[in-house]
A and B are shown apart, each in its own frame.
Chain A
Amino acid sequence: MRFVFKTRYEQDLRLWRHKGDLIGYGIFLAALLALPMFAGVYYVGEANLWLIYSIAAMGLMIAVGFTGMASLGHSAFLGIGAYTHAYLLQNGVPFVFSLPLGGLLAGAIGVAVGFPTLRMHGIYLAIATLAVALITQEIMSKWSSVTGGFDGLPVAAPDFLSIQSEAMYQGEWFSVGGLHVGWTELWSPVSLYYICIVVLVLAALIARNLLRSPTGRAFVAIRDSEISAQSMGIHLAYYKTTAFGISAFVTGLAGGLFAHQISHLAPDAFNIFISIELLLICVVGGIGTIQGAVLGAAFLIMLRSFIPIMRDEVTAGAGGVEMLGGLVRFVNSPGLEAAIFGALLVVFIIFEPMGLYGRWLKVKTYFDLFPLYKKSTFARQKSYVKTERLR
């Protein structure tokens, strides 16, 4: 059993709780960095998608998990980040500027949207942000001079790397594990992968720093009780808008990376389904936790690969059997993914409200406290006096 002795207040301001934490995150990061040496290009591509979704969900987590504002509009911020980044790249702005600019524009629009809508709560806010997502998608398809409309917008390979590739052209090949990387074609899923890791670490730092500073505490306070947050001196409108803006900014950053991942932007890539996926990540991963975004994204990406595999297997296995025709039709029915995601959302909310990260914490606590673990450690007590709550 571990007991962390605290002797100085600084200990509570650290990014990690104890050495074990630090070692754990170190190993995780090292494993991430080493992955392209062992995995093929396909898996690096999947990992990219995982990292990008993690970043986007971390953005959404700031709004949904920390501040308690449900948003179905984050596909819009992902799209704004992606289109801005691609447009700026196309017009010769270097990668290192265009990526944050995409995030900033998304954040600015988040703030602009936030002003009128954040007076609303729960389902009403979700509907208002849903409208934002739909309107943004409409603009993407109609504003052809910038977005290319339905023809889409090709995403150029980042500038700073292509300059380098010309300057350093040697015609030589370098072998990195199973993957061949030449200077001429330096831009590959692997380069995107490493950029994603950098952005992920930054996003996690932003979220963590917020949480240990007055701003993040104000977010959490608003989530748990608006009225007492207000009487502690927290300006509701300011902090809600700030939270939404930062949330949109981080998701916008992910959008820029997403643009490279899909390499050709079209309005369809940013439909409402992306918002639902991001929300699913937050809930499945563990609402209100930074780690939850990463775990939830891994879960979603695996599930997305698993559904087509299962579809093929079932169709092949039961194809000839008359009685199983219904099953085959069922697994091949369109919209199955959405149904499965929706069902999972409900299942997690009911049976594992703390999500995968909560499950991990429970397992860890079980071993920490062995044999004294009791189930009620994580039981959530519903407070019974909420009748006179003021909004």
Chain B
Amino acid sequence: MTFFKADKLAIHFGGVKAVDGVDFEIAEGEIFTIIGPNGAGKTTIFNLISRIYEPTEGQLIFNDEDITNTAPHLIAGRGIARTFQNIELFEQATVLQNLLIGRHAHRSGNLLANIFFLPSTRRAELAHREEVEKVIEFLDLARYRDQRIANLPYGVRKVVELGRALCTEPKLLLLDEPSSGLNVEETSDMAFWIKDIRDLLGITVLMVEHDMSLVNRVSDRVLALNYGRVLTLGSPSEVQSNEEVIRAYLGG
């Protein structure tokens, strides 16, 4: 069975070929990293997978199902969660509320049950809370639980965003530059968490990352992109010693 596969994936914005026929396949339980210089199309691939962009060509397969035409709000329910490069949290809400929004794909009950806050809604809320508390425990967020995002430092926000994605109970987690803006210590925490997410929670991870030490520490396989095309695919050390990759980063 195919866990995740991008087949000849392409998107063109007018004449700009942001992603131009990219093929790759991710096996279940893998930590797969996409690297590449700025503008290589890494985040665009994420936006294609989360269906924010409409691919010009190609196909996305997840769990043997074609998700190329799935509506964007249904992607979370299918089991794909993501974080954003520039943190897209709900700033005026507390950490707890943010994480609870992560449970949205698993909600039950209709609008009227919500308006009257029927016992069914109350029970569902308590069950969601239990799940959220597991994530809070996992990421050590307990002391920030009732704080508003707007009052939190950048490093914590990054973790909250990871937590929110975990609350959707994904099978595939997309991390867009998990270490950007973090200090050395926070980055190493992040590396542990990414490994734990795979090892303890059994979630497959697809990430975009610039910090090569983090990439080396956690990734199983690395895909190098430039100008929307695949340069090479292989283990972290193979990719880093690849001549084309070096040329793409250093120029020349």
Contacts and interface: CB of A to CB of B under 8 A. Distances in A.
A213 interface: yes
A308 to B, nearest CB: 37
A224 B81 CA distance: 18
How many residues of B sit at the interface, in one of the four size bands?
A: 35 or more
Contacts of A223: 90, 92
Interface in A236-265: 236, 242, 246
Interface in A285-313: 288
Interface in B66-99: 71-77, 81-82, 84-93, 96-97
How many residues of A sit at the interface, in one of the four size bands?
A: 35 or more
Interface stretch (A8-16, A75-83, A143-151, A267-275): A8-16
A386 to B, nearest CB: 7
A288 B92 contact: yes
Q: Which of B73, B86, B102, B122 has the most CB of A within 10 A?
A: B73
B188 interface: no
A142 interface: no
A218 B90 CA distance: 10
A230 B93 CA distance: 17
Contacts of A12: 96, 129
B27 to A, nearest CB: 23
A381 B89 CA distance: 14
Interface in B113-144: 113-117, 121-122, 124-126, 129-130, 133
Q: Which of B76, B92, B104 has the most CB of A within 10 A?
A: B104
Contacts of B105: 232-233
Q: Which of A9, A213, A224, A232 has the most CB of B within 10 A?
A: A232
A218 B101 CA distance: 7
B73 A228 contact: no
A386 B88 CA distance: 9
Interface stretch (A40-48, A91-99, A204-212, A333-341): A204-212
B111 interface: yes
B114 A216 contact: yes
B126 A217 contact: no
Contacts of B121: 213
Contacts of B63: none
B52 A231 contact: yes
Given A13-B126, A224-B89, A386-B86, A233 B116 contact: no
Contact of A225 (B52, B89, B103, B168): B89
Contacts of B113: 213
What's the dominant secondary structure at chain B's contact region?
helix
Nearest to B167: A232
Contact of B72 (A210, A230, A381, A389): A230
A385 B87 contact: yes
B151 interface: yes
A390 interface: yes
B164 A232 contact: yes
A221 interface: yes
A7 B76 CA distance: 32
Contacts of B85: 388
Contacts of B168: 232-233
B246 interface: no
Nearest to B128: A214
B46 to A, nearest CB: 10
A383 interface: yes
Contacts of A170: none
A227 B88 contact: yes
Contacts of A387: 86
A242 B111 CA distance: 9
B117 A209 contact: yes
Contacts of B91: 224-225, 383
Contacts of A206: 115
B88 A217 contact: no
A288 to B, nearest CB: 7
Nearest to B74: A233
A35 interface: no
A231 B90 contact: no
B104 A232 contact: yes
B74 to A, nearest CB: 7
Contacts of A315: none
A380 B104 contact: no
Given A214-B100, A380-B150, 17 more contacts: A209-B116, A212-B125, A214-B103, A214-B107, A215-B115, A218-B101, A220-B90, A221-B104, A225-B88, A227-B52, A230-B52, A231-B81, A232-B81, A232-B102, A233-B105, A233-B168, A381-B150
The 6 closest A-B pairs by CB, nearest first: A233-B76, A233-B105, A228-B88, A224-B90, A213-B114, A385-B86
28 contacts: A13-B125, A209-B114, A212-B117, A214-B103, A214-B107, A214-B124, A216-B114, A217-B101, A220-B93, A221-B101, A221-B104, A223-B90, A224-B89, A224-B93, A225-B91, A227-B52, A228-B84, A229-B90, A231-B50, A231-B52, A232-B102, A232-B168, A233-B75, A235-B73, A380-B150, A383-B87, A390-B47, A390-B52
Interface of B: 47, 50, 52, 71-77, 81-82, 84-93, 96-97, 100-105, 107, 109, 111, 113-117, 121-122, 124-126, 129-130, 133, 150-151, 164, 168
